Structure 1
Amino acid sequence: MNQPEILYMVVPCYNEQEVLRETAEQLKNKYSALMSEGLISRESRIVFVNDGSKDQTWGIIKELHEKAPELYSGIDLAHNSGHQNAVLAGLMTVKDICDMCITMDADLQDDVNTIDEMVKKYYEGNQVVYGVRSARDTDTFFKKFTAESFYKFMKLMGADVVYNHADFRLMSRRVLQELANFKEVNLFLRGMVPLIGFQNCKVYYERHERLAGESKYPLKKMLAFAVNGITSFSTKPLKLITTLGFVMSVASILAFIWAFIAKIGGFTEHGWSSTMCSIWLIGGLQLFCLGIIGEYIGKIYAEVKQRPRYIIAEFLNDAENKQEKN
């Protein structure tokens, strides 16, 4: 390492007024330590991305920038675009003015002290460094079960994702430039980044409890995120429809045989057998298959419209090379 390189942090924020100042303070202390050790350049910045927050999040970001423009930057999206789009907006905005970039959430659940190891791994030649949870001891049984099931199911469906890794990762400028070539609207960064390749490694950390505020990923959003991830990176669900159709057809034949025997034995009312077999089995199968196909058609519909994934209303940055990316 001849001289320290520029590190930009991209921190997506949605209604994070309760925790934002503490997050900024902890990252400031971490940056000071890294600069003192000569690991990062003094041109490094912390970029908060306001994803259409309804509280005072953007006001706090502007306040931080006004007090320390040499450290804090801010991106204000014109409307709420979603977590993945907010992360991408930050990455694409800083991709040409940094040497490496780390993404992390604003809730301080990701361990700030892990940044040191990430930067060191970058200097060892790694283009991507994944922050991976070492354990899920702080999760409830339901949260732990569903999260682990999600990663296992994604792997089963053929999507290359890093187990127990969310969006806490370091990427080099080269990786960011390659990521810019991915034009899909339905974003799933956990699957997109591994597709890029290059030398990579993992660092492990213990995830903390959320410092303040509420989770921005309730069960409904988590399920939608899982469906988006699976359908964005795998066509196996479509292939499974054929297999399921065959299995259900065999099951229907067996059900008809059982119903016929039951009818001969006089155990059923007239018309019950045909109703059970036709409506429950065939109807349920058709609706299920149509639902899967509909998910893929919906994605095609969103992709062909080619609408912008995000719109940047304002970019606060004192660096010379200011950019705005739509």
Structure 2
Amino acid sequence: MKMEKRKKREEEKEKEEHELDLSGMSLSSFPNTSLNLACITKLDLSNNNLQSIPESIIARMLNLVVLDLHSNQLHVLPNSIGCLLKLKVLNVSSNMLESLPKMIENCRALVELDANFNKLTNLPEAIGFELTKLEKLSVNSNKLIFLPFSTSHLTGLQHLDVHLNCLRSLPDDLENLINLKTLNISQNFHFLHSLPYSIGLLTSLTELNISYNSISTLPNSFACLTNLTKFMAEGNPLVCPPMEVVIKGVDEVRDYMNAKMSEGFKVVGGKGKKIRPSTSSSTTTTRRKGSWLKKVVRCGAFDGRMVNMNEGLLITPEHEMKNASSKSTPARLAALLSPLRVFSPKS
């Protein structure tokens, strides 16, 4: 028993030596210390008055795993932060940062990045290509106009919070965020008018908050968010779906958007059912069909090539346009391009 207690005390002492807590001490500069900085795994400098962090200090903390700098007066982060190859958690919220150093892309072990309540106008362009282990990205309450294109390559990302910014749009290829569970893009107010079609391909999404923007129409692909359980959309001028549908719950919204997705097609016949255009105008049908195909191709649901196995035909968007005048092609393509077929579980 004595040996176990002694071992436990030694482990606790060793842990304390590896954690440096200097929070809430009204520090305006990093204090002199005799500690071996290379041994520190957690550094807490939160709730101080720091305006800068010395490059040399950070560069020596090669084993740092957690760095907490929130609630200071920092205007910049040292470039030497790129030396922290073991860093997993970085909290720089509630400072005065206008940008993050490009060298942060070297912190490839980073799992959580919190940069809320700053003055950020952009994020490093390659952040999504380099921080492949990132699971949580919180950059709310900043001045972001766009998210970098590389954001859509954060395949491990589970939580993305960009509310209270000035976002004009979201990246197009959101379907690559295969593990994203929560997405908060609320309170971008009059800046954000639409959502990309690919938002409906976020297969793991369980919570979506688009409140207080200027969104009037949801993309039809919303019907594909089968795991979504929580949806908030108040404060938008929504007409599709109307707010009376939204307040009934996410299931009602899905049903409404599913009907919109299937609009223009109807199932007729008995045993051998066929899908035919719901309008008698062939010109209107061709135009709707081409538009619907373009949206699906754009979002990566398929590569734009479809094969009719019975007749041995390879049908592409170009082939469709050449044969728009054919009597048999519209009916055949209508069946192939039906949302029921393209988005079915089997396909």
TM-score (norm 1): 0.24
- Higher Cα radius of gyration: 2
TM-score (norm 2): 0.23
